[in-house]
């Protein structure tokens, strides 16, 4: 894998937590941030003695993102990977959203990745250093969602990926993973029952999509094996909603 020091947002649970483990197993240094302090503590305990740094930071806050990146860039100037994994899904129709909640969903899923990607690129590009960014979208961003706001922001993540791939070329590759229903995650627990059943019915492959399997696709996109890919969308969806 070309990257050796990687930032992963939302590492306390789900895909982020699985990815932290995969990257540490591969000998990488990992820095993660999350709003879940308890989850971060248990993650640190699980990987005690390994090159893992945890920070409490809210990617929806511009101040938190800047303070987090200030610390990361000072302590790890060789950082060359960024995974914008933290996401917020509320599983509600658009008429149930108030303005503050709309702002929050946009900030977590879109503004955070924009701010972090910008700081990351500002650090690498002037020095012509190479790196890789992986963003987490969703099947919801491709085929729509019963939660219109989630469908909107995840479509935005795909647009951000393709556009940053252009902006950051030729030094930073930017790609996106589009998972289907990932079991054993807080987000899956919030999917309405009828939608959960629809997602499962759509899958062509048997077996559940585990966070570790999505982490594997992220790991591939961070590594040399994907050296020809930028602006690409890879799915981790058991073939659901063929498109």
Site residue total, ligand NAD (CB under 6 A): 31
Q: Tokens for 2, please give them.
A: 């070309």
Which contiguous run of DSSP H or E holds residue 188?
helix 186-190
Per CB under 6 A, the list member of 5, 21, 89, 116 interacting with ligand NAD is 89
Measured from the CB atom, the residue of 91 and 129 that comes closer to ligand NAD is 91
Per CB under 6 A, the list member of 65, 79, 88, 116 interacting with ligand NAD is 88
Interaction with ligand NAD in 43-62: which residues (CB under 6 A)? 58-60
Per CB under 6 A, the list member of 3, 181, 217, 221 interacting with ligand NAD is 181
Cβ-contact 28, 76 below 8 angstroms: no
Q: How far is the CB of 7 from ligand NAD (least distance, A)?
A: 12
Measured from the CB atom, the residue of 151 and 179 that comes closer to ligand NAD is 179
Q: Does residue 8 interact with ligand NAD by CB under 6 A?
A: no
Cβ-contact 32, 44 below 8 angstroms: no
Q: How far is the CB of 30 from ligand NAD (least distance, A)?
A: 14
Contacts 24+ apart (CB under 8 A), 61-66: 61/107, 62/111, 62/115, 64/33, 65/112, 65/115, 65/116, 65/119, 66/115, 66/119
**How far apart (Å, rounded) are the C-alpha atoms in residues 88 and 92?**
12
- Candidates 70-78, 116-124, 176-184, 224-232: pick the segment binding ligand NAD (CB under 6 A): 176-184
Cβ-contact 10, 89 below 8 angstroms: no
Q: How far is the CB of 11 from ligand NAD (least distance, A)?
A: 7
Q: Does residue 13 interact with ligand NAD by CB under 6 A?
A: yes
Q: Which residue lies nearest ligand NAD, judged by its C-beta? A: 14
Interaction with ligand NAD in 182-221: which residues (CB under 6 A)? 182, 185-188, 211
Per CB under 6 A, the list member of 6, 8, 12, 221 interacting with ligand NAD is 12
- For 14, half-sphere exposure in the C-beta direction (CA atoms, 13 angstrom radius) is 20
Cβ-contact 13, 186 below 8 angstroms: yes
Q: Does residue 151 interact with ligand NAD by CB under 6 A?
A: no
Handedness of CA 117, 161, 53, 106 (dihedral sign): positive
Per CB under 6 A, the list member of 105, 110, 133, 136 interacting with ligand NAD is 136
- Please state, in angstroms and as integers, the Cα–Cα distance from residue 151 to each residue in 140, 143, 148, 158, 183, following that order: 5, 8, 5, 11, 19
**How far apart (Å, rounded) are the C-alpha atoms in residues 210 and 36?**
21
Binding positions for ligand NAD, rule: CB under 6 A: 9-10, 12-16, 33-36, 39, 58-60, 85-89, 108, 136, 138, 179, 181-182, 185-188, 211
């Amino acid at each position: 894998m070309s990257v050796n020091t990687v930032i992963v947002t939302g590492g306390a649970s789900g895909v982020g937590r699985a990815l932290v483990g995969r990257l540490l197993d591969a000998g990488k240094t990992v820095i993660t941030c999350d709003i879940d302090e308890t989850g971060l503590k248990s993650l640190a305990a699980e990987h005690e003695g390994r090159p893992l740094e945890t920070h409490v930071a809210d990617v929806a806050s511009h101040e938190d993102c800047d303070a987090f990146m200030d610390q990361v860039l000072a302590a790890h100037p060789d950082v060359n990977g960024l995974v914008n994994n933290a996401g917020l899904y509320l599983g509600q129709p658009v008429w149930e959203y108030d303005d503050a909640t709309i702002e929050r969903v946009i900030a977590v899923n879109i503004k955070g990745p924009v701010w972090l990607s910008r700081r990351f690129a500002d650090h690498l590009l002037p020095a012509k250093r190479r790196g890789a960014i992986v963003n987490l979208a969703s099947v919801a961003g491709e085929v729509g969602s019963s939660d219109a706001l989630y469908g909107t922001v995840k479509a935005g993540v795909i647009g951000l990926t393709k556009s940053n791939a252009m902006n950051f070329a030729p030094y930073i590759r930017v790609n996106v993973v589009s998972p289907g229903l990932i079991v054993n995650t807080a987000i899956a627990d919030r999917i309405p029952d009828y939608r959960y059943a629809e997602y499962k019915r759509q899958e062509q492959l048997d077996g559940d999509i585990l966070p570790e399997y999505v982490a594997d696709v992220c790991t591939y996109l961070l590594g040399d094996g994907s050296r020809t890919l930028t602006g690409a969308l890879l799915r981790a969806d058991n073939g659901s909603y063929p498109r």
